[in-house]
Every structure is written in C-alpha cells, then in structure tokens.
Structure 1
Amino acid sequence: MDCIYIVLLFCHSFEHSKRFTVMPHIHPSIHTFTHRYIFSSCKNVHYDLVFILDTSSSVGKENFEKVRQWVANLAESFDIGPDKTRVAVVRYSDRPTTEFSLGRYKTLEEVRRAARSIKYIGGNTMTGDAISYITTNIFTEREGARPAVLGIQRVAILMTDGRSQDYVLEPSKAAHEAGIRMFAVGVGEALKVELEEIASEPKNAHVFHVSDFNAIDKIRGRLRRRLCESKYCTPALLETAMDFSTNCINIMQQYMCCDNREQDLPFPLNQGSPTWCPRALGCPRGPHESPADLF
C-alpha cells in the first residue's frame, strides 16, 4: 500500500519526463494504472472549453486586464487545434456576449491574442443568464462544439467577483444535465453558496475562491491540475447506461469506476467483462482511498 502512494507522488513530480519508469516490483496492474492516468495532461486530453467572464462594473478595467492575461496564460496548458482543444470566451454583465466561439481560433497564439483583446463593458452581474447562454448557444455544433457522440468533454470556467443579480441554480442544473463540467472561480465578495450552485460535483474540486484579482494567478496551477490530471465522470441517467465497458479512473486521488461514456455508476458492474478493470466483473463504485482497493 505504501509503495503505491510513493509511485503516485513520484509520477506527479515527473509527469513530463520521458526517462521515468515505474519500479519493476510493482504489481503489473498498478503499473498500468499509473502509466495510464498519472501521465495524463492537458496536452493529451481534449476539450470544448468555454471561459465565462464577469465584466460587470464591480470588476473594473484594471482588474479585468488581469483576467485577460489569466485566460491567455491558462490557454497555454492545452493543445489547441480543430481536432484537439477548442476554446471560446463569453463575457457578461447585463447580458452575455460571445467574444469568440469554439473553433474560431485554431492555434494557441491566436487564442492568446484574442484573450488579451477581450472587451470590458461594465454593468450588472447576470450570471444565471450567462450560464443559460453557454448551454443553449455556445455548446452547439453551429457555434463550433463537436457532436456529443464523439465524447469530447464540454467544460466551462466561470469567473465572477460578486453576487449574481439573477438566479444561478436552475441554469446551472440545466448545464450539468447537458453534460457540461462547470468550474466556478470567485473573487473577493463572490458568494460561496452561489459558486457551489454553479459548480459540478464534487464541489471541492470545482470551486475556487481568492481574495482579490491580484491572487487569481495563484489558483491557475490548481485549476490546471483539476482539468489535466484525470478523466472525469459526469452524472449518468441509469436508463441510458446500457452498453457497459468499464474503466477504473483516478479523480482527485479518489478512485472511481466508470463506463465507456465516463459516467459514474452507482452499483457494482457485472454486465460482462470490462476493457480495463482489475476485477473481472467490474469495479465497485467509489470513491476508494487507494488503487489497491480496486484489485
């Protein structure tokens, strides 16, 4: 058990090293686990990714310049391209506006240049309206999102600095049900309860809060790790999860079992042999404290 945790920590430290090898005495199934998931990064995980940025009057022009640079810097974490990660930006105050849509820019440098030119507007803080907007208007094939059948994960990162002037709960639920993974970044007086309503489960992995805009860079690395280190299980409607092919995966050091659409199943799976799972009849639903619990 102890050596498993040593291996995981060692892999994190050398995630990009081509010279790294797993110690030969580790169980071969654990070798497969560490190789498959610890080496996962934003360069080999592709998303349809939307930034939702609060441009209300309380943010201010000077602070919004920091937001622009934060988006440009975070974009460097991804392998951007038509068949890789696509990036869009929506800004909002009184109403949401598409700054650029998914797939419009095909290289990292184009995305960074566009991010540094995002307009600042001022006005009210209609966060719920912005969430509804990305669900119904941005994550569509018309606006460059890829068809759901391709399995490209849809992710939205919302940054706000205060209380929304409309309701966020129902729009957020609709986004979650549409398969959008929501991260909520709060600055200053942003309400924790609203951030948690916006964010996907588990809340502690999808909610971030900093005291002011000078501190937003401090969470960039943590957010990147949330996005890049692990595959993610979206909630599943059981009646749609009929064709099972399981994978055991690592979410925030908690080990879950999912079907081939990356959906978390609430019961031990015994619908046939999985493609990669140490237990012949499938993995029990987690979280588990150690990958060894899966064997």
Structure 2
Amino acid sequence: MLLWSLWSAILLLTPLEAAEEDDVRAGCSTAVNDLVYIVDGSWSVGTSDFETAKQWLINITSQFDISSQYTQVAVIQYSDTPRLEISLGIHQGGPKLIEAIQGITYLGGNTQTGRAIKFAVDHVFSSSQRASQVKNRIAVVVTDGKSQDDVVDASVEARAEGVTVFAVGVGSEITTSELVSIANRPSSAYVLYAEDYTTIDRIRDNMEQKLCEESVCPTRIPVASRDEKGFELLLGMNIQKKAKKTSGSLISEAAYSLTASTDITENTRDIFPEGLPPSYVFVATLRLKGSSSKLTFDLWRVLSKDKEIQAAVTLSGNDKSVTFTTTSRTENWQRITFKNGFQNLYDGKWHQLKVLVRPSQVTSFLDDQPIQKIMLEPVEPMYINGKTQVAKRRGTDITVPVEIQKLRLYCDPHQSERETACEIYSVCPLNRTATDEEEDCNCVVGPKGQAGLPGRMGFRGEKGREGPPGPDGKSGKDGTHGDLGPSGFTGMKGEVGPAGLSGDPGLKGLKGDRGDPGLSGETGPPGTKGLPADKGELGPPGEAGPMGEPGLPGSGGLVGTTGPKVSADCSF
C-alpha cells in the first residue's frame, strides 16, 4: 500500500515538474491585462469619425493575445449616459473581439466623460472574473471635447482602485487641463493628442508602446526629478553586491569592477518577468582596460533554457565593433553589427554606449553621438525560463574584467533623447571634476606653477542641450471671485433638437371595483297603436310548380246496401 502511494505521488508530480521545465515566452502579447476602452460617442464626433475611432481600437488591440489567460478587453461608449458595448472576458479571441467592435453603433448625445469613467470603475472592472490574477487594470479614455460633467472625482477614484488611466484627446476642442486631470502622472506619459480622427492613427505606435510599457515594465528608475519605467540592471543583477566598488568617471560617480571570478548571472524571470517591450533603450557607461579591450564578449545577454541567445549587446575588441542580437519570427535570432564608429570605445577610457531598439530598426550611439541606424526584422517575445548575464565571453560562462558605472534598460524609447553622457568628463568638461584616472597621465606631478597672465575672453559657447522636462507644477491657489458681469444679450433661438428617445411604457393600472346594480326603472305608459298599412297590389301569378310525387293508394270504399229485387220479364 505504501509503495502504491509513493508511485501515485510520482505520477502526480511528473506532469507538474515537466510543465515547470518548459520554456515560455513573455512580452506585451502575453501580458495579463484587464483593458477597458471608454470611447466618446457624442454628437460632436459624428458617424464617420466614430467608425475611424473603432478601427483605431482594433489596430491597437491586435498587439495583445486576447484570451482568458492573457488580455481581456471591454468597450464602453458614452454620451449622456455610458453604454457597455463589450463586457470583460466575453470574447476569448481576437477575431471575435474585432467583429464585436465593428458592430458597435454610434450613440450621439452630450458629453458626460466623468460619468463614463465612474461607470467603468463601479461596473466593468469590478465585474472581472479574475480579479486576483490580473496584473494590470488599464483604462483608455478617447474624447474630442470638453466634458459636461466633473471628471476629477471619477478619475481620482479610478486611480485609488488601482486603475491606470490614459487620456487621448482628438481635435482642437479638447481641454488640456481636463485630460491631465483624467490621466495618471506624469501627464507626458499618460496623455496623448491627435489633430483629428483622420490623423489618429499617427499616434497608434505611441499608444501601443505606452500600453506595452504599462504591461511589462512595472519598475521605476529615478532620473532627473522624474521616474522612468525600465530596469536598473546594476541593482537587479546584484552587481552592487557582487562586484568591487571603484572610482567612476567623475569624483561624484561610483563604478563597479568585475574580475574573472565575479559571476553576474540571474534568472531571467526575476529580471524581466514579463519580457521586453517592442521599443527600449539599452544604456551602459563602462571602461575597457587591458585585455578586455581586445576580447569579444557579451556585455549583456538573455539566454533561453537551452542557452540560445534571446537578446544581447556584444563588444568585439578585435574589429572594434558592436553587435546587437534579438529574436526573429523567421529565424532563431537576428544579429545587427555596427562595424564603424566605435574605435574610441576600446581606448581604455570611460564611454557611454546606447542602443535604441524600435520595432523596425536599431540605432547605436557612443557618447551621445549617433553612430549608425540599421533596419530590423519583426521580433518574437523572448523566453524567460533561462538566465540573464553580464560580461561573459561569447559561448561561455567566463567573466571578462570590465568596469561598469551604469547599466540600464529604459522602456521609453524617447529616453534616448533625454539621457546624456555628461557623467563623462570628456563629453561635458564644463563645471566637472575628473578623477585622477580620467586624466590618464603617467608623468610625475611637479610643483604648482605661478599664475599666468589673464587670457583673452573666449568665444561665446554653443547653446547647450535641452534639459529634461521639469516635474509637474503644483496646483495654484484658487483666485478671488470676480465682479458680476453685465447681463448678456438674449441669444437667438436655437435649432430644434433631435427627437428624444421613446420612454418606457407605463405600468398597467389596477382593475377597478365592480359597482352596485342600479335601481329598476318605472314601467312606462303603453305606446300608441300604429296606423293600418295599405293593402299591397296583387302580385303576378307564380310559375307552375313541379309535379308532385304519386300519392299513397287510398283506403277501400264502404260496402254498398243491397238494391230492390226485379222480376225477369223480357217483354217491353
């Protein structure tokens, strides 16, 4: 009996263990989202533009795997009142969802945006059948005009319930302050604009990227008074704990020195649990000294369970090149090699390397200078059951000695424009103090010389780079009430509005009580005798009728009496 129990336990555990060993892909398409579109259907939109808005929703939704396991989508159309067009989880597949969106009919009416947001929070998100499993609750509000009700309270309640709200304004009638009130902070990340519905598809890629960032990039990196979504690999890969701290490119900067005995390896599921977005920026500030400047190694790589490369940035000191590797829909992987412009990266000094990845192209930078842009084929979500490593010889687990000051992956591709290399003295020497090593001088330091003669005034410097946007300002104090203005002129009579909707039929009335029978009336007097009628004229004789059937034979007559007796006298 004991042996049988053990065997049963083994049989039960085996499928579970096998499932855990299977490698799985992760990315935007496999994110676990409850996504609710709140779409303006008021009179100002119009039938044609409303159809365009529906197609825009379809285009954006196509990047997700619509299923009970991954993303579920609901659609609310609103005007005077919100109308739930598609419930969460009712369509378990992309084609069915697309068909349902195409079948939505235009409402028309006024603009009650706040009421629609509250409806989404109270009745749509709360109806989800997988509230404990869903990782992201996202609402996208699409509107072309100012709301006729308050949006602030409803939006605050949405955020308090853990709903991330994006606001998409279309056209020139929108109010920026209202969109900012609706959306999450910072508004630069959660508010989008389109000139009109005919150009709304221009912000499709941006909207897709924002939704994907929200799905796969939960962590934040403090940068220039704002938080950027991404992955701080120095922290996530435990480099700060495993490597020796050393001087960085500036006195104010710290770096970490990796040696051959330093193993920087972590489970990919712990670093990128939801995979990577379609666009991101890889940034590394590093110094290659000695033999490391002559070797070929993966500065950063993500391996599958079978040790196939899913993503990597490879440095080659032999030919002074940089290679980016990623997945491919047609092959196991694709490699993009930047062969020119990286000679200085291997000169033994501090440098910043950036690789900007977009769905169709990859751009490389060195010390803020763009080097090369190369086209990229469509990629597949990467496997996450393997390992992520730093500074490893290609094809081995051997660590290459390297000094690293920054190692980050930003989800927002626009961070490539904001991220400067001014942490390096040679890039931004003004108002900076280099470390002794940065001077790279092996000479003997002599005594301090006498002050020289004053030099001539230098030329005016070039305009500096635009700094990162500042944080959102605090709300100003309420102003005093102005004096009552004069009465306006009576406006012209407006056009007759559209017919209102038919009201619901009223309730059926109760049956009345039966009344008592009335009293019998008195007998009336006899009526007067009518006058005799005149005798009518004699009508014409009728046609002869058909011969009747023979009558029945009559009964026998009575027997007659005996007559008198006569004598026989023959003479006359």
- Same structural fold, with TM-score higher than 0.5 when normalized by the shorter chain: yes
Aligned to 2:39: 53
Aligned to 1:152: 135
2:59 is the alignment partner of 1:73:
yes
Structure having the larger proportion of residues in strand: 2
The amino acid that maps onto 2:139 is A
| Deviation digits for residues 215-262 of structure 1 (CA, Å, limit 9, x no counterpart) | 1111111100111146354xxxxxxxxxxxxx667999935679xxxx
Matched ranges for 1:86-235 at <5 A: 86-140=72-126, 143-147=127-131, 149-188=132-171, 189-229=173-213, 231-233=216-218
Which TM-score applies when normalising by structure 2? 0.36
CA–CA separation in structure 2 for the residues paired with 1:195 and 1:116? 27
Contact 2:217 2:229 (C-alpha < 8 Å) held by counterparts: no
What is the SS of the residue equivalent to 2:96?
Answer: helix
Q: Offset of 1:152 from its aligned partner?
A: 1.8
Contact 2:40 2:77 (C-alpha < 8 Å) held by counterparts: yes
Contact 2:36 2:139 (C-alpha < 8 Å) held by counterparts: yes
Distance of aligned partners of 1:58 and 1:145 in 2 relative to their CA distance in 1, 3 Å threshold: farther
CA–CA separation in structure 1 for the residues paired with 2:238 and 2:227? 17
Aligned to 2:335: none
Contact 1:42 1:78 (C-alpha < 8 Å) held by counterparts: yes
The amino acid that maps onto 1:197 is S
Q: Offset of 1:47 from its aligned partner?
A: 0.8
Aligned to 1:284: none
Contact 1:254 1:290 (C-alpha < 8 Å) held by counterparts: no
The amino acid that maps onto 1:117 is G
Contact 1:146 1:152 (C-alpha < 8 Å) held by counterparts: no
Matched ranges for 1:37-52 at <5 A: 41-52=27-38
Q: Offset of 1:279 from its aligned partner?
A: 4.1
CA–CA separation in structure 2 for the residues paired with 1:103 and 1:255? 28
Counting matched residue pairs gives 219
2:228 is the alignment partner of 1:254:
yes
| Deviation digits for residues 183-208 of structure 1 (CA, Å, limit 9, x no counterpart) | 10001111111111111122111111
CA–CA separation in structure 2 for the residues paired with 1:121 and 1:159? 15
Contact 2:220 2:228 (C-alpha < 8 Å) held by counterparts: no
The amino acid that maps onto 2:71 is T
Runs of 5+ unmatched residues, structure 1? 1-38, 234-246, 259-273, 282-288
Q: Offset of 1:75 from its aligned partner?
A: 1.4
Contact 1:66 1:213 (C-alpha < 8 Å) held by counterparts: yes
- RMSD, matched Cα: 2.9
The higher-RCO structure (CA 8 Å, 6+ apart) is 1
| Deviation digits for residues 36-94 of structure 1 (CA, Å, limit 9, x no counterpart) | xxx96421322100000000000000110101111111111101101110000001000
Contact 2:41 2:77 (C-alpha < 8 Å) held by counterparts: yes
The amino acid that maps onto 1:106 is Q
The amino acid that maps onto 1:194 is E
Contact 1:161 1:186 (C-alpha < 8 Å) held by counterparts: yes
Distance of aligned partners of 1:248 and 1:181 in 2 relative to their CA distance in 1, 3 Å threshold: closer
Distance of aligned partners of 1:198 and 1:255 in 2 relative to their CA distance in 1, 3 Å threshold: closer
Q: Offset of 1:278 from its aligned partner?
A: 4.3
Runs of 5+ unmatched residues, structure 2? 1-24, 243-281, 285-404, 409-572
CA–CA separation in structure 2 for the residues paired with 1:162 and 1:181? 21
Distance of aligned partners of 1:132 and 1:214 in 2 relative to their CA distance in 1, 3 Å threshold: same
Which stretch has the larger CA shift, 65-74 or 153-162?
A: 65-74
**Identical-residue share of aligned pairs (%):** 36
Distance of aligned partners of 1:150 and 1:74 in 2 relative to their CA distance in 1, 3 Å threshold: same
